[in-house]
Structure 1
Amino acid sequence: MASPTTKQILTDLSPVLKLYTDGTVDRFIFSPDVPPSPQHPTAAVSSKDTATPPGRLYLPKLTNPTQKLPILLYFHGGGFCIGSPFSSLCHRYIETLSLSAKTLIISVKYRLAPEHRLPAAYDDAWTALKWVCSHVLDQTDFDKDPWIANHGDFGKIYVGGDSAGANIAHNMAIRAGSDPLPGNVKIFGTILSHPYFWGSNPIGSEPKEDIEQHMLYRMWVLAYPDAPGGIDNPMINPIADGAPMLSGLGGLKMLVCLSEKDVLRGRGVAYVEGVKRSGWKGDVAVVEVEGEDHCFHVYDTESEKAKNLIKRMASFISN
């Protein structure tokens, strides 16, 4: 018989996390939070935290005080269960991308599963997108952020992310294609880097047997246990039968980034093919990096291949 102080494991997703029967969670993959970089005349990129909605804003050094910059809403990865925009890993990466792309970036903090099951993260992302777009309105019920209000180009709003964050970005583009945003603002483009999509029918290098035991399958079930359709819910499998038509995606262009060794590569390719077949009126581009694995550029921004991929993202945003 277990002692009263022994916690009982409900779900073991080691080496990522463990969920206990009392609702507590141990997360084993994380990087420590770091403070933002205060605005300074010599700073290449300044950053600050926001409370409502929570997240971190990045502003590269301006060439003139009235300069307008593209806006990117970024959603971090972590299987909907781990990660933070304040982590050293995310901060370094987004700071690098902001500088390279000369882009104002809002790195969104969304609620994590399993404490906050999906669709909580999707709801938080949509709230953040509406908040940014609301800055175009003359009257708002909140104090506008001066970085966004003074330097954001609302004709160049992007949504993007890595892994689960790319999944969120896709779902924001789908929603923005049908639901109006404040001020009738439109998404201009989407960046999906190593998107976390999955499904019941294996694609590419996905396991052909015992797929329900795969970490990526189990992580979705943990994050959204009551998802209609389970692993073929359109939010995780956008090419499933009955999923919203990809022709309805918001935006005029899309960049999908994949890596040769990533188990998610095949499904990313299938997603791109689905977008092209759908008759979507935008332009979709794909970049695939040889010899690399899932989200390699986030973990090491200084490698040559990471630098090249970040430059490709920057070019997509600036052109």
Structure 2
Amino acid sequence: MESSSRRKDVGKRKEIRMEIPTLVRVYEDGSMERLQNSPIVAATLEDRRTGVSSKDVVISEEPPISARMYLPNEKDLKQKKVPILVYFHGGGFFFESAFNQLHQNYFNLLVSAAKVVVVSVEYRLAPETPLPAAYDDCWDALKWVATSADTWLLKHGDFQRLFVGGDSAGANIAHNIAMRAGVEPLPRGVKLLGAFLSHSYFYGSVPIGSEPVRGHEQSVPYVVWGLVYPSAPGGIDNPLMNPFACGAPSLRGLGCSKILVCVAERDLMKDRGVLYYDTLKNSGWPGEAYLFQVQGEDHAFHIHNPTSDNAAKMINRIGDFLHHS
């Protein structure tokens, strides 16, 4: 790990202030390179393989918040309203996009299989806009959905079945949005029915499970949090990142009635996901919690390889959760 190194990048002749190998370089002049961004692609009407349509919408001009929406093929809607999923993409709070190819491919498959309307939020990224701004952007997006005059939502969306979900950092956001929904009402009396958390980016100062004991503070999840929220009260044990930290609000305050927690066997943070599920089950929260575990897979595998057999199983489980339990 070279997160605190200062060395010369000969090719660019710029001094690196901070680097997380394979993820990001931050230079002394304030510029940065995101090393894993997927290409940005355009929205499409009736994807050739799935028939799913997508379009881009502006949620707010100031601050700049937008989204890519997805709608199932007309023949799959069958004149009935379907669940609404407000989704938050992963990427450690500092890279990736709702408009990238990875998520476009994933949502074409998810929406086709699950028959839901998706609003995938483009929130502001750190470190240019440090946390907690992304949480506020995503809350504003959820409120926009609740008050929306968008024709796709009004014609096809069932506001009685409103969900939030996300992968990695997006799952972290989904949890915190669900917590906020427990104390702050949404407009028009709209309520959040459920949330799903896929490979949640939770971490803390004390290692658990398979997390490294030696070099824990140099591990990627630890270092990334310092990049995206350097002023976080409590550091890595801020309740936004560590919902099990001393003083964190109880999970019984979640403002929804059902939760699906997805974990992958080879994910460094899988034990945090299992702990979240166990803690929630024992918190006194009155809702229904479900745990979905996949063997032999790593963090966010379903985003990177959505056509794999395990990704198909996960997509089907999410679809079942959104429609049933």
TM-score bin, normalised by smaller chain: over 0.9
RMSD, aligned α-carbons = 1.9
The residue correspondences of 1:119-138 to structure 2 (distance < 5 A) are 119-135=132-148
- Alpha-carbon offset, residue 2 of structure 1: 10
Query: Structure 1 unaligned runs (5+)?
Result: 136-143
Match of 2:45 among 38, 41, 51: 38
Cα pair 1:169 1:190 within 8 Å, conserved: yes
| TM-score of the two chains, using structure 1 as the length reference | 0.93
2:4 corresponds in structure 1 to none
Aligned length: 310
| TM-score of the two chains, using structure 2 as the length reference | 0.92
* Residue 199 of structure 2 corresponds to residue 194 of structure 1: yes
Whole-Å Cα distance in 2 between the matches of residues 240 and 271 of structure 1?
A: 12
Cα pair 1:23 1:115 within 8 Å, conserved: no
Secondary structure of the corresponding residue to residue 241 of structure 1: coil
Whole-Å Cα distance in 2 between the matches of residues 42 and 163 of structure 1?
A: 27
Task: Deviation per CA, 1:166-221: give whole Å up to 9, x if none.
Answer: 00000000000110100111110101000000001111111112211111100011
Whole-Å Cα distance in 2 between the matches of residues 96 and 44 of structure 1?
A: 10
1:57 corresponds in structure 2 to 69
- Alpha-carbon offset, residue 44 of structure 1: 1.8
2:30 corresponds in structure 1 to 23
Query: Structure 2 unaligned runs (5+)?
Result: 1-7, 60-64
User: CA 1:67–1:199 in 2, change beyond 3 Å: closer, same or farther?
Assistant: same
Task: Deviation per CA, 1:123-144: give whole Å up to 9, x if none.
Answer: 1100100000013xxxxxxxx2
Identity fraction in percent:
49
- Alpha-carbon offset, residue 281 of structure 1: 0.6
* Residue 90 of structure 2 corresponds to residue 83 of structure 1: no
* Residue 268 of structure 2 corresponds to residue 256 of structure 1: no
1:208 corresponds in structure 2 to 213
Q: Give the letter for the 2:87 counterpart.
A: Y
- Alpha-carbon offset, residue 6 of structure 1: 3.0
The residue correspondences of 1:66-105 to structure 2 (distance < 5 A) are 66-105=79-118
Whole-Å Cα distance in 1 between the matches of residues 315 and 322 of structure 2?
A: 11
Whole-Å Cα distance in 2 between the matches of residues 33 and 295 of structure 1?
A: 19
- Alpha-carbon offset, residue 40 of structure 1: 8.5
The residue correspondences of 1:1-319 to structure 2 (distance < 5 A) are 6-38=13-45, 44-52=51-59, 53-63=65-75, 66-135=79-148, 144-319=149-324
- Alpha-carbon offset, residue 267 of structure 1: 1.0
- Alpha-carbon offset, residue 43 of structure 1: 6.4
Q: Give the letter for the 1:11 counterpart.
A: M
1:140 corresponds in structure 2 to none
Secondary structure of the corresponding residue to residue 214 of structure 2: coil
User: CA 1:41–1:10 in 2, change beyond 3 Å: closer, same or farther?
Assistant: closer
- Alpha-carbon offset, residue 23 of structure 1: 1.7
Q: State which drifts further: 23-32 or 35-44.
A: 35-44
- Alpha-carbon offset, residue 21 of structure 1: 2.0
User: CA 1:6–1:172 in 2, change beyond 3 Å: closer, same or farther?
Assistant: same
Cα pair 2:50 2:112 within 8 Å, conserved: no
1:138 corresponds in structure 2 to none
Secondary structure of the corresponding residue to residue 175 of structure 1: helix
User: CA 1:228–1:60 in 2, change beyond 3 Å: closer, same or farther?
Assistant: same
Cα pair 2:166 2:196 within 8 Å, conserved: yes
Whole-Å Cα distance in 2 between the matches of residues 88 and 18 of structure 1?
A: 22
